[in-house]
Amino acid sequence: MTSEIAPPPRLLMGPGPITCDPRVLRAMGTQLVGQYDPFMTATMNETMALYRGVFATANEQTFVVDGTARAGIEAALVSLLEPGDRVLVPVFGRFGHLLTEIASRCGAEVHTVEVPWGQAVPPEMVEEAIVRVRPKLVACVQGDTSTTICQPLDDIGRICREQGVLLYVDCTASLGGNPFETDAWGVSVVTAGLQKCLGGPSGAAPISVSDEAAALIRSRKRVEAGIRDARDDDEDDVRTGSVIASNYFDLAMVMDYWGPRRLNHHTEATSMLYAARECARLLLEEGVENVVARHRLHGDAMAAGLAATGLALFGDQTHKMTNVVAVEIPERLGAAGGDAVRTRLLEDYGIEIGTSFGPLHGRVWRVGTMGYNARKDAVLVTLAALEQALRTAGVPVPSGEGTAAALAVYARAAA
Amino acid sequence: MTSEIAPPPRLLMGPGPITCDPRVLRAMGTQLVGQYDPFMTATMNETMALYRGVFATANEQTFVVDGTARAGIEAALVSLLEPGDRVLVPVFGRFGHLLTEIASRCGAEVHTVEVPWGQAVPPEMVEEAIVRVRPKLVACVQGDTSTTICQPLDDIGRICREQGVLLYVDCTASLGGNPFETDAWGVSVVTAGLQKCLGGPSGAAPISVSDEAAALIRSRKRVEAGIRDARDDDEDDVRTGSVIASNYFDLAMVMDYWGPRRLNHHTEATSMLYAARECARLLLEEGVENVVARHRLHGDAMAAGLAATGLALFGDQTHKMTNVVAVEIPERLGAAGGDAVRTRLLEDYGIEIGTSFGPLHGRVWRVGTMGYNARKDAVLVTLAALEQALRTAGVPVPSGEGTAAALAVYARAAA
C-alpha cells in the first residue's frame, strides 16, 4: 500500500505553479459544509466580492470556474463564441496559440496577428486587424510565461471599445504581479488561475464578466432537463443565440448557480473555493498595488542577479512580466546540459526553475518570483544555488556577483 | 475585510457532498511540488494504480480529470461522441437527464428509455432499444441520487458487449458504496467524483478508459499549436475521427499528459490530486468489499430507523443505493413544512439532510450515509434529531422507535 502523501521540500522558482502560501493550504484543510448551506452561499458571495477587488471591477458576474486556469479560458470562449463567429488573437507566445486552439474548437473563425516570441504586440497591429477582420471578439493573453512578455492592454481595450469589439483576456500568469484593470481597460471577460502570483494551487479559475458580455451569454441559455421549470420554457422562447456547446462551461447556467436563483449545476468544489477565497484575502490585505510593487522589486532583483551571473536576459525587457524572467541557457551547455543543471538544482538544492515550450524549449530557463515566493530570501537562495550549479556544470561564473547585484537592487529600493 | 474561513460544524447527511474525511483534508493541506517534479509524476502514477483498484480494472488509462464529477462526465462524452453519433441513455432520474443534455451538446443524436422516478430500468428495455436504435454508445448512471435507485449494470454490460456497443457509466454517487466492476461488466468508460462514498470534496473526477475506448479517442487526437512537434504532424495525417470539440476535456491530450510522453496540457490541480489519492488509499486500506458492506449496514440502519419513525420509504427498495435513502415528506407538512424541518435540523442540530429535484422536489427528503459519515453515531444522532424536529413541527412521531430500529439492525449484524 502507498504511504501518506509526503512530498520533498521544494522551493518552486519556475514559471508556476509555485510554492503555495501556507494560509491557503490551511484554508483547504478546512471542513466542508453542504452545497446550499447558508454559510456556503455566503462564502460564495464573499468570494465574488473579493474577486471584484482583485480584478478591479464592479462586475456583478465575478465568480470562480471549477477547474484549472485552462477551464476558465474555455468557459469564457465557448460561452462567448458561436460557431462561425470571427475572433482575433494577438499571438506572442505559447498561450496565444492556446487561445487560437480553444477558439477554433468552439467553431470560431480564428484570425491572428503574430510577433516573434520575446516581443509584445503593437496596439496598432491589433487595430489594423480589427478593421480588416471585423471580429466579434479579441482574445488576448496578458502575461505569456512562455516568453515572459506582458502585453500592454490599455490601448487594446480602448481600441476594442471604439470598434465595438468584445475583449477577452487570460491573465492567469500575470494577475497580482502586474497591474490589471478590468473596468478601466474595458475588458469584457477576464479569467485567471490561482497558481501564479496569487499563491494558491492550480484548480480554480476566477472569472469576471461584464454586464454586456453576461447579457450576450444569457441570450444563449438553456437550462438542462431534470431541473427546468416553467420560467425556463419561457426563456427558451426568447433565446436569440445558439445553445452553448458545453454544459460544464455554460456560463449562463453557472451564473444562475452563483446568482440568487442558486440553480443547481455542478457541485461546487468547496475546498478549491476556500483556496480561491484565501488567495484573494491575501492579495487584498496586502493591497493590490503593494503586491504588484513587491513582485516588481523581487523580479528586478532576480533579473539583475541573473544578468550579473553572466546569463543573457531573453526578450524585450521593457515589456517583461514582473514575476518571471527568462535567460538564455549558456551555449556551451546545450539543451541537454541546461536540463542537467535544472536537475542538479532540484535534486541537490531543492530548487525548481523551468525551461520553456516550442521554439524556446531548451534555449531558455525561466525563473519565477511570484506569490509566496516573491521574497528576498527566495531570490538570494536561488541565485546562490544557481551560481554553484553552473560552476559544477563547468560554466565559468563570477563569484558572488549574482547575489551582490540582487542585494544592490534591494539596497536602492530601501534608500 | 473578511475573516479566516471558519465554517459552522455540520454533520452532512444529505445526498452529498458529505463531511470530508479528516485524512483527506490533511492531504489537501500538503505543500505543492512542481508540475514535472519526479515526485509529482510518481504521485500521478500512484494515483492511477490506486484507482485501478477502486474501479476494479486493469485499464492503463485510469486517471483523474480536473473538475467536478460533471467535468468527468463531459470529458467522457465529448471525447467518445462525434456529432451525429447515436447514443442511448436509460433515464431513471435527474442525472440520466443530465447525460442526455451533455450528449446533445456534443451534437449526438440522443435516444432514451425512461422509467418512472423510483424504479430501475429493466435490461431487456435497454436491449430492445439498442436493437432498434443501433447506438454507438449506451450512457448510463449507476446510482441516481435524485431517486436513490441503483441501476444493475451487469446485464446491460453483457448486452452492450454482445451488440458491439460502447458503455459509459457515471458512478459518482454510488462508487464505493455499491459494487462496481469495470472489467467484469465490460464498461468502456467510467467516471466518478470524490464527494460521495469516497469521503472527499467535490473537484476531482476519477476516470477509467478501456483500451478499446482509448484507441477510439486517440483516433481523434490533435495536439495543440504551441507545443506540437513532428510526431504530431504525422499523427494528424492518420487521424480518422473528427477533432474533439473541447480542448480542456480532450482525453486524447489528457492521456498524453498522464502518460509517459507527459505532454503539457492543463496544470494539474495538485491539491485535488492529493485528495483523490487519499480517498483511494482510504478505500483500498479498508478494502472495497468491506467499504460496500459498511455502506450497506449503515444504509439499512438508517432506512429501518426512518421507517420506524413513521416515514414512508420512497422508490423500489430492491434497487436502492446503499448510501442514500429517500422518504416521503409527511403530507401534513407540505413542501414548505418539509423545508422548515430541514432548516431546523440544520440550524438547531447542525445536521443536513436533502430534498430532491424535478418531480420529487418538496416531496421527499434524502438522507445519506456515505463515506466518512457511514457510521453508527452519525446514523443514530440523525435519527434522534429528526424525531425531535418532526415533533417540534407538529408531526406525531413514536418516541425512540427510530433509533431502536437502527440499533436492532446493528445488533442483528453483530450477532
Residue type, A124: E
Residue A265: pLDDT above 80?
Answer: yes
CB–CB of B199/B275 below 8 Å?
no
pLDDT cut 70: percent of chain B above it: 100
Containing A61, the helix (H) or strand (E) segment is strand A61-66
CB–CB of B24/B275 below 8 Å?
yes
Residue B228: pLDDT above 80?
Answer: no
Whether A110 has its CB under 8 Å from any CB of chain B: the answer is no
User: Which tens digits make up the pLDDT trace of A364-406?
Assistant: 999 999 999 999 999 999 999 999 999 999 999 999 999 999 9
Chain A residue with minimum CA distance to B353: A34
Containing A160, the helix (H) or strand (E) segment is helix A154-163
Q: Would the CATH topology of B21-284 be identical to that of B287-414?
A: no
Residue for cell digits 454517487?
A: B173
**Chains A and B: how many Cβ contacts under 8 Å?**
287
Residue A231: pLDDT above 90?
Answer: no
Residue B220: pLDDT above 90?
Answer: yes
Q: Which of A102, A267, A275 sits opposite B69 (nearest CB)?
A: A267
Residue B81's pLDDT band, with cuts at 50, 70 and 90, is very high
User: Which tens digits make up the pLDDT trace of B177-213?
Assistant: 999 999 999 999 999 999 999 999 999 999 999 999 9
> What are φ and ψ of residue A170, in 5° steps?
-100, 110
Residue B226: pLDDT above 90?
Answer: no
Residue spans of the domains in chain A: they are 21-284, 287-414
Containing A170, the helix (H) or strand (E) segment is strand A166-170
Query: What is the reported pLDDT for B264?
Result: 87
B226 and A146 in contact by Cβ < 8 A?
yes
Query: What is the reported pLDDT for B79?
Result: 98
Residue type, A175: L
Chosen from B4, B23, B32 to mutate, greatest number of chain A CBs within 10 A:
B32
SS3 assignment for chain B = CCCCCCCCCCEECCCCCCCCCHHHHHHHCCCCCCCCCHHHHHHHHHHHHHHHHHHCCCCCEEEEEECCHHHHHHHHHHHHCCCCCEEEEEECCHHHHHHHHHHHHCCCEEEEEECCCCCCCCHHHHHHHHHHHCCCEEEEECEECCCCEECCCHHHHHHHHHHCCEEEEECCCCECCECCCHHHHCCCEEECCCCCCCCCCCCEEEEEECHHHHHHHHCCCCCCCCCCCHHHHHHHHHCCCCCCCCCCCCHHHHHHHHCCCCCCCCCCCHHHHHHHHHHHHHHHHHCHHHHHHHHHHHHHHHHHHHHHCCCCECCCHHHECCCEEEEECCCCCHHHHHHHHHHHHHHHHCEECECCCHHHCCCEEEEECCHHHCCHHHHHHHHHHHHHHHHHCCCCCCCCHHHHHHHHHHHHHHC
Residue A107's pLDDT band, with cuts at 50, 70 and 90, is very high
Whether A193 has its CB under 8 Å from any CB of chain B: the answer is yes
User: Which tens digits make up the pLDDT trace of B356-395?
Assistant: 888 898 899 999 999 999 999 999 999 999 999 999 999 9
A70 and B352 in contact by Cβ < 8 A?
no
Return the CATH number of the domain spanning residue range A21-284: 3.40.640.10
B245 and A4 in contact by Cβ < 8 A?
no
Rounded to a whole number of angstroms, the distance from the CA of B295 to the nearest CA of chain A is 20
A357 and B227 in contact by Cβ < 8 A?
yes
Chosen from A202, A355, A373 to mutate, greatest number of chain B CBs within 10 A:
A202
B8 and A264 in contact by Cβ < 8 A?
no
Query: What is the reported pLDDT for A227?
Result: 74
Return the CATH number of the domain spanning residue range A287-414: 3.90.1150.10
CB–CB of B371/B292 below 8 Å?
no
pLDDT cut 90: percent of chain B above it: 92
Mean pLDDT of B149-174: 98
Query: What is the reported pLDDT for B335?
Result: 82
A34 and B43 in contact by Cβ < 8 A?
no
Class of residue B362 by CB neighbours under 10 A (exposed 0-12, middle 13-18, buried 19+): middle
Query: What is the reported pLDDT for B105?
Result: 96
User: Which tens digits make up the pLDDT trace of A143-175?
Assistant: 999 999 999 999 999 999 999 999 999 999 999
B97 and A193 in contact by Cβ < 8 A?
no
Q: Which of A34, A102, A243 sits opposite B17 (nearest CB)?
A: A34
Residues of B in contact with A10 (CB under 8 A): 31-34, 37
Whether A41 has its CB under 8 Å from any CB of chain B: the answer is no
Whether A242 has its CB under 8 Å from any CB of chain B: the answer is no
Class of residue A260 by CB neighbours under 10 A (exposed 0-12, middle 13-18, buried 19+): exposed
Q: Cell digits for A127?
A: 487595430
Query: Which positions 348-387 of A are in contact with B (Cβ < 8 Å)?
Result: 352, 357-358
A135 Cβ contact partners less than 8 Å away, ≥ 6 residues apart? A85, A86, A87, A88, A111, A165
pLDDT cut 70: percent of chain A above it: 100
Query: What is the reported pLDDT for A114?
Result: 98
Residue B230: pLDDT above 80?
Answer: no
Residue B26: pLDDT above 80?
Answer: yes
Mean pLDDT of B112-120: 97
Nearest to A23, CA basis, from A206, A193, A207, A274: A274
Distance, C-alpha B44 to centroid of its chain:
21
CA dist A299 and A313 (Å) reads 12
Query: What is the reported pLDDT for B358?
Result: 84
pTM for the whole structure: 0.97
Query: What is the reported pLDDT for B215?
Result: 97
CB–CB of A196/A174 below 8 Å?
yes
User: Which tens digits make up the pLDDT trace of B321-339?
Assistant: 999 999 999 999 988 999 9
Lowest mean per-residue pLDDT among A88-102, A233-247, A252-266, B316-330: A233-247
Query: What is the reported pLDDT for B235?
Result: 73
Residue B345: pLDDT above 80?
Answer: yes
